[in-house]
Structure 1
């Protein structure tokens, strides 16, 4: 038996319990992983509280978590690229807040020795989404990108991926995060009244595309800045779909492998950094999700089943 985190009903995060369950057995194209680290994303606590039940229904009892890093312990009959003992990172198909999880072979990349387990387990969700966002917005070298909530999980990856590709990046954030945004290559702009004028002053050349990871009502001004709603993409403002902007809910989708390879390469080149705010043992998964929901940390939150 192995330990895994489950909930039997939607509710506040105290519905989460650590239970014993058999380790999941891999199908032909899957591998079994002994989980060393599993990153926390906002979607995780939204699943538990029921906020995602219309678009991501689950069959109860259910587990949660999908960002994963660990050691391959068993491979499916059709897997040829991985072997027992390989250190990998990516996205799991079974709950990642567990001692063991399954992942499709194609959703994994090799974990370099120089990347910590905490960082490795925090890349797939936010990093993969950032990669997909840039692809959908069609931005390229020399373009100017505005990122709302640039100091958040997806925002941090988007800023750094865009900078590595030769874009100018503006990021909205509270003033306490301005030094951090400068450190990762963004031009910081403060939230609040007068934001449109401040962005125009910071980017007199204009704004080519906008990522909204905030949902604080910046859609109209973002459309005005780009002059084209199709060049505005939101991860959160679903009620603005009728404006013609892009809505993104699919993470990296089929591009996950390419996304992770680019991100890992940039980390090894020291051109992309991932801050770890806090690490929690498996027994404290509810506290980890509380910390994510409260939003008072800077950097990724991670659960360490072997801690």
Structure 2
């Protein structure tokens, strides 16, 4: 099979299309013919030499941790899925490929109303935002600050906060993305110096919780504005967690969590904005684009 992978640790230029043996579904597993695979900063970290806990990088290594496609093998003991079923799912690695093998507990059915591009780009950032919003206890009446709200992770967080009853969601973003944030129901604000004061003006009664996806002024504003530090989560400024007195937030992706997100999308309550798609052969360009940390929405690889 074809896959986008790297033979050495390095920048986006190390990504290339290679040939690998086709994986085979074992007991409790399915094999999926991948149609689309989402691109995340997680994948770039793997390319740079970081390994998920308990996983060893194997050179050459195929990155990618979210996908959508069509089941073409079903292992013994699998119920509820069949060959030809359209699904979306998640794995730690190996999704930038024509085929991926995962446990049947790592996929859910793709609704017909969801495009392949949307399906390929939901499972990583969507579940990440869900984990973060649950961890900081976002609920009815809250005022929530989301730093980096126009990116895929931030945009999912905005929508979940609104769905779960937040009174006000303030989102930081570049000015060109402010109309997009307004369309999601957020009050936009620029990143620059003086952010704490600008947010105070927008939320005179205070900020109850904050989620940081971009670092910089935003994480410091969160610490300045949110009284209970247990209600602050960062998925970016990991090096500042101890210094700022924050807690490490961890959570597990699951089929149940993913199914909840798919249901919200089916009901028109969760939008998945596709920023750009790239063919598998241009995985390096997809990594270059996501590493600019600008723009809005999701970057997705398409695999013919």
What's the TM-score bracket when you normalise by the shorter of the two chains? over 0.9
Q: Would the aligned equivalents of 2:191 and 2:218 in 1 still touch at CA under 8 Å?
A: no
Match of 1:295 in 2: 293
- The Cα shift of 1:287 comes to 1.4
Match of 1:87 in 2: 86
Q: Which moved more, 1:221-230 or 1:58-67?
A: 221-230
Match of 2:21 in 1: 22
Q: Secondary structure at the match of 2:2?
A: strand
Q: Structure 1 residues 116, 14: closer, same or farther in 2, change over 3 A? A: same
Q: Would the aligned equivalents of 1:230 and 1:244 in 2 still touch at CA under 8 Å?
A: no
Aligned residue pair count? 301
Output the CA distance in 1 between the equivalents of 2:192 and 2:278. Answer: 34
What do residues 153-197 of structure 1 show as CA deviations (whole Å, max 9, x unaligned)? 110000001111111211111211111100001011111122111
- The Cα shift of 1:228 comes to 2.0
Match of 1:39 in 2: 38
Q: Would the aligned equivalents of 2:170 and 2:187 in 1 still touch at CA under 8 Å?
A: yes
Task: Report the TM-score when normalising by structure 1.
Answer: 0.93
Q: Secondary structure at the match of 1:218?
A: helix
Q: Secondary structure at the match of 1:279?
A: strand
Q: Would the aligned equivalents of 1:75 and 1:83 in 2 still touch at CA under 8 Å?
A: yes
Alignment of structure 1 residues 1-307 onto 2, 5 Å: 2-50=1-49, 52-53=50-51, 57-167=56-166, 168-242=168-242, 243-248=244-249, 250=250, 253-254=252-253, 256-306=254-304
C-alpha RMSD over aligned residues: 1.7
Structure 2 unaligned regions, length at least 5 = none
Task: Report the TM-score when normalising by structure 2.
Answer: 0.94
Q: Would the aligned equivalents of 1:94 and 1:102 in 2 still touch at CA under 8 Å?
A: no
What do residues 241-261 of structure 1 show as CA deviations (whole Å, max 9, x unaligned)? 22321333x5x514x323322
What do residues 57-110 of structure 1 show as CA deviations (whole Å, max 9, x unaligned)? 512121100110000011121211211111000103551111001122112111
